[in-house]
Structure 1
Amino acid sequence: MSVLQPDALALASPLARRNPTVKLALLFVVSAVLLLVLDPMTPAVLYVLVAGAVLLGTGVRPRALLVAQLPFVAFALGVLLVNMLSRPGEVVWQGAGLRVTAEGLWVGAGLAGRTLLMGLLSVAFVATTDGVALVTSLHQHARLGAKVTFAVLAGYRLLQQMGAEWQTIRRAQSVRAPLGRRGRPRVGLRGHAASAFALLVGSVRRGDRVAGTLELRGLGDGDRTTWRPVPLDRRDAVFAGAVLGVLGLVLVGASVAGVLEGPGALF
């Protein structure tokens, strides 16, 4: 299973049944709070709690979750290395023209942990949220206009089709490509560039046709009904309260333990 494309198991999980707008709002709130946290201990505790909740409440397999985290791991390592090697402070190691400072390690570990935690939250959101339900919920509950939401929905549908379109273009190019010594098509860099250009042109044409269709159907003129409304009930309020409550408890606990640090750690 690819975490970036939710399957039936993930979309039937308890977390997937929560309102998409509520989950998106919580993602923004938690991310905004984390921007003010710069110690490594607080993100580490939150990461363990979120990872456990994701594995238990989403149906995502540990291996799939780990693979989805790899881009965030690479970015987090880069942040850690830059801070530990460039930030001034008490030198803990020096050699080969490099020096590592204690302050750089502390701040770098905090920023890296924050990156991993935000990545985990984003992966959990994508894995348990259907795109159509998200756009419908934003129209219902976030009061976004029909022009915006239906345009986003059309774009989401086109994006879903791009993978299959790319495979079709590549196969067509392979049929026309000359064969190499082993009898395999030789595509090369120019072939990939041509495929990418063909995909771009096809996407622009489909987008133009979709825009014309939406305009002909009077998109945005008057009130519009929703075919499959997305529910919003007390369980979503309980879910939001639980997430914010756990976040608050961890922050208070880190403050009482004396490990919580904010933006002042950068200076």
Structure 2
Amino acid sequence: MKVTEFSDASRIVGRPAVAVAALAVLVGCTAQPTSGDAKGHSPIRIELPHSSPPGRTAGAKPTPAPSAVETTPPHIVYTRGDTGPGVRELQARLRQVAWLFDGPTGTYDDLTVQAVKGFQGKRGLPRTGETDAVTWRRLVGMTHRPGKWELYLMGGQPAAAPDRRCLTGRVLCISKTSRTLRWMVDGRTVSTMSVRFGTQFTPTREGVFHVYWKSRHHFSTLYHSPMPYAMFFSGGQAVHYSYDFAARGYAGGSHGCVNVRDEAAISRLFAQVRNGDKVVVYW
């Protein structure tokens, strides 16, 4: 049987930054409470001089008190390993200024660290890779508050409910809506992972299929690119690990295959899936 393989096709979508907002907007858009952040750090406080110090006599010339500025360094808002909706918002804003091409995942991972370093270096800030208060305010000033589409529908959202065809047997249950793959056995979800699909001109087929060939170290002779952990289910379309997806996230797309970016996860999946197991691709 001759198999035509499909692999990655990349296209980077850039987004221009929006104009810098007014200071009042900057304060209103920050996700951190003014009394301190979740890590227990206190915000920077500035005490203004008194125009009329208590106890001065009538008619006496006002004597302003010296200003006192707290000199502690900016507190860290987010750092490597943090998770949650705040990190997801940070990632969505980094996407808006083209420093991050991965879909928001809600986890402060290596790609986020590199994106923050790039953003900081471009603006003369210390390249720590940690999002401190100064970095956060600068980013908020250059971006708009992300909506649901930017936060979730570019990838990294929770897995969609399984299609009814996934509820029996051994199934790779793949949702195009949530861009996720569930590995299910007899209606029980064993594992889930983010996936990427084909582009407009090379779409991933939808329907019910079966794994007919597994190729651990597969290489596409058609597109001259590696397709490790390939599990073919429809002609040349397969579920496989993608180096491009791992590096650039949803900025690109495949030639019809279902790309996985977590190599450890697909390695475990490849070991469990057998030829003949069902594959369901649905919206």
TM-score bracket for the superposition, by shorter chain length: under 0.3
Greater helix proportion: 1
Larger radius of gyration: 2
TM-score when normalising by structure 2: 0.22
Greater strand proportion: 2
TM-score when normalising by structure 1: 0.23
Higher relative contact order (CA 8 A, sep 6+): 1
